[in-house]
Amino acid sequence: MRFRLSPHDTPKIIAWVFILGCFLCSIYGLVSAASASSHHDTSLPWQYWGEVFSFTLWQAFLSTVTSFLIGLPLAAGLAWRFERAKPYLLALMQLCFVLPPLVIVMILIQGLGKQGWLNSLGLSPYGLLGIVLGHAFLNAPFVARNVIQRLESIPRTEMQLSQHLGMSTFAFYKWVGLPHLTSTLKSTFLFVFLLCINSFAIVLSLGGGPGSTTLEVAIYQSLKYEFNPHQAAWLAAVQCITTLSIAIIMIKSSATHPSKPECISLGKKTKGIHYIALISFLLLWCLPLCLFITRHLTNVISQSFWIEPLALSLVYGFTVTTLSALLCFALLSSQRAKTASTLIANLGIIYPTMVLTTGLTLLWYRSALGQWSPLILILAIQSLVILPYLYRALSDPWDRIKHQYGPLYAHLNMSSGQRLRWVYWPLIKGPFIGSFCVSTVLIMGDITVPAMLGFEHFPTLSVSIAKSLGAYRFEIAYGLAAVQLLATLFLFSLAEYFGRTEYANR
Amino acid sequence: MHAATLNVQWLINAKNAYFAFRERARSCSISTVLLLLVSFMIQSTEAQTKPTLRVATYESFVTEWGPGPKLKKAFERQCNCSLEFSTATEGVALLNQIKLKGEHFKADLVLGLDESLISEATATGFFQPHNLSLPPLANDMLWKPNPHFVPFDRGYFAFIYNRTKLKNPPTSFKELLNHPNINVVYPDPRLSTVGRGLLYWMNSIQEQETAGAWQSLAKRTLTVTPGWSESYGLLLEGEADMALSYHTSPAYHQIIEKKSDYAAALFKEGHYAQVEIVGIRHNTPQAALAKTFIQFLLTPESQRIIALNNWMKPVIDVQTHPALDQLPPPKGLPSFEPDTISKQKKSWVSDWLMNSRR
Amino acid sequence: MLTVEQLIVGHDRSAKEPESPRFQYDLKLEKGQWMAISGPSGVGKSSLLGAIAGLVPVESGDMFWDSRSLNSLPAGQRPLAILFQQNNLFHHLTIAQNLALGINPSGTLTSSQQQRLQDTAKRLAIDSLLHRKPHELSGGQNQRAALARALLRQAPLLLLDEPFNGLDKALRLECISLLEDINQEDGITILMVTHHPEELAASDIIQAQMALGGRLHSSY
C-alpha cells in the first residue's frame, strides 16, 4: 500500500522526470563529447589539481566561517530591534548577491583598493583575502537573515520566562537561543559552504590569478577557451561528489520537525551600542554601494536606452522564476520520498552550472532540436539553477502548513485545488513573493549561461553591461550597473516586505 | 405579458451570444499566444525576395558603437541583400559555438576569429577556401596568405598607462619585469583573447627563459582578471598602473573622449600582433555573396569604419584619423605558425600557470 | 452503531522513536451513545480517534458505521466530524470562512447553507464573531467555533480529542453542557478522549479506561 501511486503524486513525478532528465541529458552530452575528444590530455601535474581541490575547500571553509563571524553578531544586534527599518536593511545588505563581477570589484576596491582602508594596512584585496571578504560580503547578510528569522520565532513564553528569570544576554543565548538555533545554524553553514564551493564570479574577479583557482573556475576555464570537455567532465565529477556529500549531510541535518513560528515584538531595548554597531556596519557595507550608485546613475538617467533591457530583464526573470516555482510546488506537492525530492531540488547547486549548460547545449545542437531557437533550453537551465533557492525558501513554510493543518483539511475533504486556495496560498504567499523577487534578481544578474549560448538570446541588463564594456563604454556600463543595482534593491525590498507579512498576519 | 416573455427570450439570446463570444475570444487569445510562441521559436522560414547573408561575429563588433551597424548600412546599399548578425561574447567563444553547435551554427560567414585560432578553426571543417585575390596589404603586416581566412583588422598587444600618473614608463619588457614599483593587470590567458596574446608575446620574446619571466611578472601583477574589460577598468579607475590591451586603445580616448592621458608603452623587444580574420562556411548557399562581402571589407571605406569603431589598425594602407594613423608604430614580432600554436598552447598555459602562482 | 473489530494501528511513522508500540482496539458504541475515554498518556487514545477518522494508517482490522465499512473511505468522506487537540481552525481565515469550509470545502455556500451557518453560530453564541479571525478570539470562543463547524458537517458521529484541554474549568463545563444538548437533541453519537472524566456528570455517559496497548475497560 505504501508504494501505490496516487494521483496526488503526478505533479511530483513529472517534476522528477523533468529535472533528472535535464541533468542526465547534460551528463550524457558532456560525456559523449568528452569521449569524442579523448585525445585531449591535460599537461598539468596532478599536484596542481590537488592544490585546486584543497584550495576550493579551504577558501569555502574560511569564507563560511567569516560569514558567520560577521553574520551572527549582526543577527544578534538586529533581532527584535529596528522593526521598521529592518526589511530595508536586509534588502540593502543582500544587494551584491547578484552583481556582475566587474561591479563587485569596483565596489570592493572603492573600499579596499589603493585609496581604501585595507590598503593602508598593507593588505591586497586580491587573492584569498579578497575571495573570503567577497564571500563574506555576500553571505553574512544571508546568515544574519536566517538566524534572525529563527530567533524571532522563539515562543513568546520562553522569551518572557528568560526575562523573568533575569537571564543575561549570554545566558539567554546559551540556554534558550542556541538550542533553537542548532539545526538552522547547521543547515545554513552547509548551504553557505556549498555556495562558496560553487561560487564563480567572486573567485574569478577577486582571485587575483592562477594561485586561487577553484574547481568551478577550473571547469569554466577548461570549457571557455580550450573547449576541453574531457577535463571538464572529470573536474565536474570531482566537484559533484564533493558537493553531493555535503548536500546529503545538509539535508539529513535539517530534517527536523518544523516548528511553528510566533509573531512576537518584544520591543527589546535598543541601546546606544546597537546604533553604533548599525551605523558602522552601514558605513562599511552599504556606503560603497550608495557611492557607486550616486556616482554612476547620472550617466544614464537622462537617456532612455536602459529602459528596454531593464523591462526585458524583468520579463525574462519572471518567466524563468515562474517555471522554477511550478517545479518547486510540484516537488512539494506530496510527502512521498521527501529526502530524494530535496536532493533533486538541490541538484542546481550540486552540479556545476557551466557543465549543465554545456552538456545540454551539446546535446541540443547535435539533435534535431538544434534548428530551433534555444529559448526553451535557456528557460529550463535557468529554472534549474534557481530551484535550490526557491525550494529552500518554500519547503519550510510548506511543511509547517502541512504539519499544522494536514489532518484538518484531510478531514474536511478538501481537494488539492481547494487546499491551495484556502490554506496553502494565503499562508505561503509572503515567502513565495519574497523568494520570487530574489530569484528574479538572480536571473537578471546571471551571465554564465548567456556567455555560453551567445548574447543574442539575452537582451538583459547584465548582457548590456557586458556589451558596453567590450566597446570601451565604461561610464555607460557603470551607469547600467547602477540601474541594475537600484532595480535589485527595489525587488529585494519587495521581497522583504512580503516575506514579513506572513508573520504579521498571524 | 407577451412583451415580458419576449424580453426574457432576448435576454437569453444575448446571454448565449455573450458566452459564445467569450468562448471564441478565449480560444482566439489562446491560439494567438500559441502562434506567438511558435513564431518566437521557429526562425522565420518565410520565402524572402532578397538573399540574406548571415554573419556571426563577436558582440562588441555589432553594438551601437561598433562597426557592425555602419558596415551593414553601407553593404546593403550596394548588394541588394540583407545582412544579419548573430553574436558570441568574443572571438574564442565564436569558435566554441562552432564546436558546440556544429552544423546548427547559423552563419554563412564567421568574422572575428584571429590568426592564432587558424589551425583549430580549419580542423572543425566548418570553413571553405575563399579563392580570393586580395588587395595589397599594409607594408608593416607580416601576414602569410591562408587558403581559408582573410585578415580584416589588427592590433599589437601592449601595456597601456596613464601619462599623468606614470611619468617614466618602462621602455622594454625586461625593464617592466624588474621595475620595483609598477603594478600591472592583465586578463587570464585561459579566458580571454587579450590574455592569450600575452602568452604568445612572452613566448615570442623569451623563447626559452619564460619561467623566470612569469615569476617576475607575477611580482608586478596586481591581479589577473577574467576579461579584458575588468583589467582596463582597473587602469581607468587608477588602481593599476598598466593594463594589457592593444596599442590602438589610446586612439579611442583621443578621438571619442578628446583625452590624451593614455598611451601605450612601447617595448624594445617588439610587440606581438593580433590579426582578426574572416572565413566562409563550407556549405553556404550564399558563397558568392560572402565573397563579395569579404572584398567589401577590404575596401578603404570599410577599413576606415572598422578601424575607427573597433579601435584596431586597418590591414591595408589607408588614412583613417590622424590620432590613429599617427600612433607611434610598435616594432612587430613575427607571429607563430598556427601549427606551432596548436602544439605548444597547452604547455605555454601550464608554464604560465605553474610560475604565476604567488 | 460504531463497531471497531481487532483494529491494529502502528504508531505514527514520523514519530522519532523507532520502536513505537502497536495498538489493538475493540469497541462497540450504539447510536446516540456518548463514550468518554480516559487513561494515562501514550496508551493510544488519540490514535484510536485518528484511525476512525482515517488520519492514522491502519495495519489490519475493520471499522463499521452501521453496516458500512469505514476502512476504504477516504478521510474526508467518512460520516463523522472530529475536533483535534489544537489547530482546529485556519488561523488566517475568518470564523465565517472556517465554518463555510466545514459545509462545503470549496467555501461557496447556497443561501440555505448560509442560513444554516447563521443558525448554528447563533446556537453556539458566536454569531457576532463571524467576521473575526481566530487570534482575535478567546480560547473558549475558538473551541465553540470549532464545535460549530463540526455540527455543520451534519455527521452522525462526533470524535473529540481532548478538545477543551486549554480551557479553564468553567468554560469546560459550559462546553460539556453544549455537548449534552447536541447529544440529546440531535442524537449524535459522541466518542471523546478526556483527562477530566469526573466532570462528565451526566449518568448516561459511558466511562471507559484505556490501558496500555489500547485495551478498553468500560464502566457505567
CB within 8 Å: A210 and B236: no
Could you tell me which residue, A500 or A336, shows the higher pLDDT? A336
Q: Which residues, at least 6 apart from C202, have a Cβ–Cβ distance to it below 8 Å?
A: C34, C180
Work out the pLDDT band at C178, boundaries 50, 70, 90. confident
* Distance, CA of B350 to CA of A42 (rounded, Å): 9
What tens digit of pLDDT does each residue of A131-178 get? 888 888 778 877 887 888 778 777 766 776 777 777 777 777 777 777
Mean pLDDT of B335-342: 87
Work out the pLDDT band at B201, boundaries 50, 70, 90. very high
CB within 8 Å: A126 and B222: yes
What tens digit of pLDDT does each residue of B287-298 get? 999 999 999 999
The pLDDT of residue B11: 46
Mean pLDDT of A363-373: 76
**DSSP assignment, residue B185?**
E
pLDDT at residue C136 tops 60: yes
- Write out the DSSP string of A372-387: S-THHHHHHHHHHHHH
Could you tell me which residue, B338 or B277, shows the higher pLDDT? B277
Say if B and C touch: at least 3 Cβ pairs within 8 Å: no
> Do B308 and B337 reside in the same domain of the chain?
no
Mean pLDDT of A291-304: 79
Work out the pLDDT band at B127, boundaries 50, 70, 90. very high
- Domain boundaries, position B124: 51-154+274-325
Q: Is C187 at the interface with chain A, CB within 8 A?
A: no
Average pLDDT over all residues of chain B: 83
> Do B226 and B179 reside in the same domain of the chain?
yes
- Residue B330 C-alpha cell reads as 610598435
> Do B304 and B200 reside in the same domain of the chain?
no
With beta carbons less than 8 A apart as the criterion, state whether C173 and C17 touch.
no
CB within 8 Å: C101 and A426: no
Work out the pLDDT band at B1, boundaries 50, 70, 90. very low
Please tell me the least confidently modeled range out of C27-36, C132-141, C164-173. C164-173
**DSSP assignment, residue A213?**
-
Residue A204: list chain B partners with CB under 8 A.
Answer: 191, 226
Is C9 buried (19+), middle (13-18) or exposed (0-12) by CB count in 10 A?
buried
The pLDDT of residue A99: 61
Residue A455: list chain B partners with CB under 8 A.
Answer: 59, 87-89
Alpha-carbon distance C78 to nearest alpha carbon in chain A (angstroms): 8
Nearest CA to A414 out of C134, C85, C110, C75 is that of: C75
CB within 8 Å: A410 and C76: yes
Alpha-carbon distance C192 to nearest alpha carbon in chain A (angstroms): 17
The pLDDT of residue B70: 92
The pLDDT of residue B199: 92
Work out the pLDDT band at B23, boundaries 50, 70, 90. low
Please tell me the least confidently modeled range out of A21-35, A468-482, B199-213, C130-144. A468-482
Question: What one-letter code names the amino acid at A442?
Answer: L
CB within 8 Å: A101 and B230: yes
Average pLDDT over all residues of chain A: 78
pLDDT at residue B34 tops 70: no
Nearest CA to B114 out of B59, B152, B71 is that of: B152
Alpha-carbon distance A201 to nearest alpha carbon in chain B (angstroms): 9
> Do B207 and B160 reside in the same domain of the chain?
yes
Residue C101: list chain A partners with CB under 8 A.
Answer: 412, 414, 422
Please tell me the least confidently modeled range out of A6-10, A182-186, A302-306, B352-356. A6-10
Domains of chain C: which residue ranges? 2-79+155-219, 91-139+148-153
Shortest CB distance from B237 goes to which of A109, A467, A470? A109
- H or E element that contains A220: helix A215-224
Specify the CATH number for the domain of residue B194: 3.40.190.10
The pLDDT of residue A220: 83
pLDDT at residue B184 tops 80: yes
Comparing alpha-carbon positions, the chain A residue that sits nearest to B353 is A210
Q: Which of A43-47, B95-99, C199-203 has the highest mean pLDDT?
A: B95-99
Alpha-carbon distance A414 to nearest alpha carbon in chain C (angstroms): 5
> Do B267 and B346 reside in the same domain of the chain?
yes
CB within 8 Å: A114 and B93: no
Which chains share 3+ C-beta pairs under 8 angstroms with B? A
Shortest CB distance from A411 goes to which of C55, C106, C107? C55
The pLDDT of residue B299: 92
* Beta strands B82-88 and B262-265, pairing class: unpaired
Please tell me the least confidently modeled range out of A1-15, A451-465, B68-82. A1-15
Residue A223: list chain B partners with CB under 8 A.
Answer: 96
The pLDDT of residue A135: 85
Residue C159: list chain A partners with CB under 8 A.
Answer: none
pLDDT at residue C79 tops 50: yes
> Do B194 and B132 reside in the same domain of the chain?
no
The SS3 of residue B311 is coil
The pLDDT of residue C14: 45
Work out the pLDDT band at B358, boundaries 50, 70, 90. low
* Distance, CA of B62 to CA of B69 (rounded, Å): 6
How many CA atoms does the CB half-sphere of B123 hold within 13 Å? 11
What tens digit of pLDDT does each residue of C44-56 get? 888 888 889 888 8
Could you tell me which residue, B292 or A399, shows the higher pLDDT? B292
pLDDT at residue A348 tops 50: yes
pLDDT at residue B5 tops 50: no
> Do B144 and B289 reside in the same domain of the chain?
yes
What's chain C look like in SS3? CEEEEEEEEECCCCCCCCCCCEEEEEEEECCCCEEEEECCCCCCHHHHHHHHHCCCCCCEEEEEECCEECCCCCHHHCCEEEECCCCCCCCCCCHHHHHHHHHCCCCCCCHHHHHHHHHHHHHCCCHHHCCCCHHHCCHHHHHHHHHHHHHHCCCCEEEEECCCCCCCHHHHHHHHHHHHHHHHHHCCEEEEECCCHHHCCCCCEEEEEECCCCCEEEEC
Q: Which of A156-160, A299-303, A502-506, C147-151 has the highest mean pLDDT?
A: C147-151
Q: Is residue B188 part of a domain?
A: yes
Q: Is A308 at the interface with chain B, CB within 8 A?
A: no
Work out the pLDDT band at A267, boundaries 50, 70, 90. very low
Work out the pLDDT band at A119, boundaries 50, 70, 90. low
* Distance, CA of A75 to CA of C192 (rounded, Å): 46
CATH of domain C2-79+155-219: 3.40.50.300
Residue C135: list chain A partners with CB under 8 A.
Answer: 506
Q: A43-254+269-291 with A298-506: one CATH topology?
A: yes
Query: How far out from the chain centre does Cα B208 lie?
Result: 31
CB within 8 Å: A411 and C76: yes
- Give residue for cell 486549554: C166
Work out the pLDDT band at A261, boundaries 50, 70, 90. very low
* Distance, CA of A379 to CA of A18 (rounded, Å): 13
Architecture field, domain A298-506: Orthogonal Bundle (1.10)
Shortest CB distance from C77 goes to which of A257, A408, A413? A413
Chain A 357-376, CB below 8 Å of chain B: which residues?
358, 361-362, 365-366, 370-373, 375-376
**DSSP assignment, residue B148?**
S
CATH of domain A43-254+269-291: 1.10.3720.10
Work out the pLDDT band at B9, boundaries 50, 70, 90. very low
Residue A426: list chain C partners with CB under 8 A.
Answer: 92-93
For the beta carbon of residue C130, count every other beta carbon within 10 angstroms.
18
Q: Which residues, at least 6 apart from B11, have a Cβ–Cβ distance to it below 8 Å?
A: none
Say if B and A touch: at least 3 Cβ pairs within 8 Å: yes
The SS3 of residue B264 is strand
pLDDT at residue A90 tops 50: yes
The pLDDT of residue A268: 55
Work out the pLDDT band at B262, boundaries 50, 70, 90. very high
Alpha-carbon distance C21 to nearest alpha carbon in chain A (angstroms): 20
Q: What angle do CA B272, B273, B278 make, to 5 degrees?
A: 150
CB within 8 Å: A426 and C91: no
Annotate A315-350 with b (16+ C-beta within 10 A) or e (fewer): ebbbbbbebbbebbbbbbbbeeeeeebbbbbbbbbb
pTM above 0.80, yes or no: no
Shortest CB distance from A211 goes to which of B96, B228, B357? B357
Nearest CA to A137 out of A186, A184, A205, A79 is that of: A205
Q: Is A137 at the interface with chain B, CB within 8 A?
A: no
Q: Is C76 at the interface with chain A, CB within 8 A?
A: yes
The pLDDT of residue A73: 83
For chain C, percent of residues with pLDDT exceeding 90: 8
Comparing alpha-carbon positions, the chain A residue that sits nearest to C83 is A408
Residue B330 φ/ψ, nearest 5 degrees:
-75, 160
Comparing alpha-carbon positions, the chain A residue that sits nearest to C84 is A408
What tens digit of pLDDT does each residue of A440-481 get? 887 877 777 777 776 666 677 877 887 777 777 778 888 888
- Residue B114 C-alpha cell reads as 584571429
Domains of chain A: which residue ranges? 43-254+269-291, 298-506
For chain B, percent of residues with pLDDT exceeding 90: 35
Mean pLDDT of B32-47: 50
Alpha-carbon distance A290 to nearest alpha carbon in chain C (angstroms): 39
CB within 8 Å: A44 and B353: yes
> Do B251 and B347 reside in the same domain of the chain?
yes
For the beta carbon of residue A307, count every other beta carbon within 10 angstroms.
11
CB within 8 Å: B41 and A375: yes
Annotate B11-39 with b (16+ C-beta within 10 A) or e (fewer): eeeeeeeeeeeeeeeeeeeeeeeeeeeee
CB within 8 Å: A455 and B87: yes
Q: Which residues, at least 6 apart from B5, have a Cβ–Cβ distance to it below 8 Å?
A: none
Question: How many separate domains does chain B show?
Answer: 2
With beta carbons less than 8 A apart as the criterion, state whether B199 and B348 touch.
yes
> Do B260 and B301 reside in the same domain of the chain?
no
The pLDDT of residue A111: 61
